[in-house]
Amino acid sequence: MDIKNCKLVFLGTPMIAAQVLIKLIAINSNIVAVLTQPTKPFGRGLKLTTSEVERVARVNNLPLYKPESAVEIEKTLVDLKPDILVVVAYGHILSKRSLASAKLGAVNVHGSLLPKYRGPSPIQTTILEGDKVAGITFLKMTKKMDAGPILLKKSIPVKADETSRSLTDKLTTLACDEIEETLVNYLNGNIRLKEQENESATFCHLISKNDGLICWESSATKIHRQIRAYNPWPMAFTYWEKEKLIILSSATTKLKLSPGQVRLINGQLLVGTSTTALELLSLKPAGKKIMTAQDFMNGHLQIDNYIF
């Protein structure tokens, strides 16, 4: 089947999904509808914010739906009668009836090398676990989350300073590079689906703001990964004089300090952990702009030997 004649419904919400949608538009896919999350309040001012996918759909005059419940999703998809669903970080679990609405099923793009890290936070978990390799998986969706047969897996190396932001960007590029050939081969029956090894499956959880709170009793390695994994959201943080202090970047050292102890040594802002001290490189105090550790030190003359 020609991708230009296949009735495709796209489901997605964040930037990674928006970029894949842009790629599908560029290859002249027959996108008959786009589903995304409803507009929601966001940020300190609770300003109503549209999803990245919605913005792309509106700019390209694509039919847009924002169903709020599983029942609404089912009805929308059944009424549309698509040939195929393409799902990228939609944010809703699709019911059996929703998946069955498409003649050729649903193809999902997942940000890990399945069966590793099934669930909603695979990219963050890749960094938290200190993996040296990351990747994407194209799979045919089933009712069981991220457990369907695999169409394609592609991997890339994870750099030592990788953040969720930078890794997401790389995996997005990878997904966009592979989406056309993968869909064409799938539609024409040229892909032999491979069942996952369910006994090897691992899982990741839905991240909350509180996951960013640093425990200085943890190891330097674990905290360093936490800082990178939760950038750009929810951001790793601690408290300085009862005010929230976001830590944007750090570096491990060989020095030893008591957990939570702050010291200035050779111009470095160091904090003790259960192993070795962590150097803080960039921070964001409550209500202020991002600053270097040096700028933060200049504004806090009594910083040496502070205890978090």
Q: Cα separations (Å) of 177 from 24, 92, 121, 136, 220? A: 11, 25, 22, 11, 36
Where a domain ends, among 200, 234, 256? 200
| Claim to verify: residue 121 and residue 218 sit in the same structural domain | no
Mean pLDDT of 128-155: 98
Q: Determine, yes or no, domain membership for 260.
A: yes
Residues sharing a CB contact under 8 Å with residue 241, sequence separation 6 or more, in sequence order: none
| Claim to verify: residue 43 and residue 151 sit in the same structural domain | yes
Taking phi first (over 0 means left), then psi (-120 to 50 degrees means alpha), and beta for anything else, what does residue 235 get?
Answer: left
| Claim to verify: residue 14 and residue 83 sit in the same structural domain | yes
Q: What is the DSSP letter of 194?
A: B
pLDDT at 27 over 60: yes
Where a domain ends, among 175, 200, 225? 200
Q: What domain range is 223 assigned to? A: 209-298
| Claim to verify: residue 214 and residue 131 sit in the same structural domain | no
CATH (domain of 17): 3.40.50.170
* Distance of alpha carbon 209 from alpha carbon 246, whole angstroms: 12
Q: Determine, yes or no, domain membership for 140.
A: yes
Provide the pLDDT confidence category of residue 46 given band limits of 50, 70 and 90.
Answer: low
Mean pLDDT of 110-136: 98
Q: Determine, yes or no, domain membership for 274.
A: yes
107 DSSP β-pair partners? 86, 140
Q: Determine, yes or no, domain membership for 305.
A: no
pLDDT at 25 over 90: yes
| Claim to verify: residue 136 and residue 218 sit in the same structural domain | no
Q: Is 46 exposed, middle or buried (0-12, 13-18, 19+ CB in 10 A)?
A: exposed
Mean pLDDT of 19-40: 95
| Claim to verify: residue 166 and residue 269 sit in the same structural domain | no
Using an 8 Å Cβ cutoff, are 249 and 269 in contact? Answer: no
| Claim to verify: residue 194 and residue 217 sit in the same structural domain | no
Select the more confidently predicted residue: 103 or 266: 103
The whole-number pLDDT of residue 5 equals 92
Check the CA dihedral 36-182-32-70 and report its sign: negative
| Claim to verify: residue 165 and residue 233 sit in the same structural domain | no
| Claim to verify: residue 43 and residue 65 sit in the same structural domain | yes
Virtual CA dihedral for 184, 189, 190, 193, nearest 10 degrees? 110
3-state secondary structure of 209: helix
* Distance of alpha carbon 206 from alpha carbon 98, whole angstroms: 23
* Distance of alpha carbon 156 from alpha carbon 228, whole angstroms: 17
| Claim to verify: residue 172 and residue 213 sit in the same structural domain | no
3-state secondary structure of 76: helix
3-state secondary structure of 2: coil
Where a domain ends, among 200, 235, 266? 200
Using an 8 Å Cβ cutoff, are 129 and 116 in contact? Answer: no
| Claim to verify: residue 86 and residue 144 sit in the same structural domain | yes
Q: Determine, yes or no, domain membership for 192.
A: yes
Q: Determine, yes or no, domain membership for 153.
A: yes
pLDDT at 301 over 80: no
| Claim to verify: residue 99 and residue 36 sit in the same structural domain | yes
Question: In which element (H, E) is residue 126 found?
Answer: helix 122-128
Virtual CA dihedral for 173, 179, 181, 183, nearest 10 degrees? 170
Provide the pLDDT confidence category of residue 178 given band limits of 50, 70 and 90.
Answer: very high
CATH (domain of 288): 3.10.25.10
pLDDT at 54 over 70: yes
Using an 8 Å Cβ cutoff, are 114 and 137 in contact? Answer: yes
Q: Determine, yes or no, domain membership for 83.
A: yes
Provide the pLDDT confidence category of residue 308 given band limits of 50, 70 and 90.
Answer: confident
How many folded domains does the chain comprise?
2
